[in-house]
């Protein structure tokens, strides 16, 4: 326990997110815009968001199991979640990020 004190303890509530997009297509732009908005409104600076263009960084698709684009990957906090689409359905995005009320998170009907 004493050794841990030297390392800054990561904020357990801090989000590590990756958004995979395909160049500058309208859908990609839409996804980025929606993401920014959700972060600003719900995460209030408690996040690191990396935007990855799969055309420029194709090997990243393999590392994070990307098949659909756009895909938002919530790496932290666990569990890992993928939210695919242009993030226009805010309710679902929040559910995926575990930010919605408990009832909504469990009510992910398809």
Partner 1 sequence: MQHQQDHHASAAAAGLAKTPTGIRGLDDITLGGLPKGRPALLCGAAGCGKTLFSMTFLVNGATAYDEPGVFMSFEERARDLEENVASLGYHLADLVADKKLVVDHIHIEHSEIEESGDYDLEGLFVRLGFAIDSIGAKRVVLDTIEALFSGLSDTALLRAELRRLFGWLKDKGVTAIITAERGEGQLTRFGIEEYVSDCVILLDNRVEDQITTRRLRVVKYRGSAHGTNEYPFLIDAEGITVLPITSAGLKHKISLEPVSTGVDDLDAMLGAGGYFRGSSVLISGLAGTGKSTYGAAFVDAACRRGSRCLYFAFEESPEQIARNMRSVGFDLQQHADSGLLRFEAARPSIYGFEMHLARMYRDIERFDPQAIVVDPISAFRGPSMEIHATLVRIADICKSRGITAVFTSLSTVGDQMNESERSVSSLMDTWISLTDMEANGERNRVLYILKSRGMSHSKQLREYQLSDKGIHFVDVYAGPEGVLTGTARLAQEAREREASKARQQNIQKMHRELTRKREAAERRIAELHADLAREEDEVRRIIEQEEAREATLGSDRSTMATARGQQHGQ
Contact set with partner 1 (CB under 8 A): 20, 22, 27, 30-31, 34, 54-55, 58-59, 61-62, 65-71, 79-90, 92-93, 95-96, 108, 110
Query: Measured from the CB of residue 10, what is the shortest distance to partner 1 in angstroms?
Result: 22
Q: What are phi and psi of 30, to 5 degrees?
A: -65, -45
Query: Measured from the CB of residue 46, what is the shortest distance to partner 1 in angstroms?
Result: 20
Q: How many CB atoms lie within 10 A of CB 81?
A: 15
Nearer of residues 8 and 103 to partner 1, judged by Cβ: 103
Nearer of residues 4 and 56 to partner 1, judged by Cβ: 56
Nearer of residues 4 and 47 to partner 1, judged by Cβ: 47
38 Cα distance to chain centroid: 10
Burial of 20 per CB tally in 10 Å (0-12, 13-18, 19+): buried
Nearer of residues 1 and 58 to partner 1, judged by Cβ: 58
Strands 81-84 and 15-21: unpaired
Query: Measured from the CB of residue 25, what is the shortest distance to partner 1 in angstroms?
Result: 9
Strands 15-21 and 71-76: antiparallel
């Amino acid at each position: 326990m004493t050794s841990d004190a030297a390392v800054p303890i990561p904020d357990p509530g801090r989000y590590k997110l990756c958004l995979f997009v395909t160049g500058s297509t309208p859908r990609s732009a839409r996804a980025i815009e929606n993401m920014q908005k959700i972060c600003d409104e719900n995460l209030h600076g408690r996040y690191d968001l990396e935007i990855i263009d799969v055309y420029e960084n194709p090997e990243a698709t393999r590392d994070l199991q990307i098949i659909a684009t756009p895909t938002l990957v919530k790496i932290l906090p666990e569990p890992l979640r993928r939210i695919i689409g242009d993030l226009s359905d805010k309710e679902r995005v929040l559910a995926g990020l575990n930010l919605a009320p408990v009832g909504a998170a469990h009510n992910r009907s398809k």
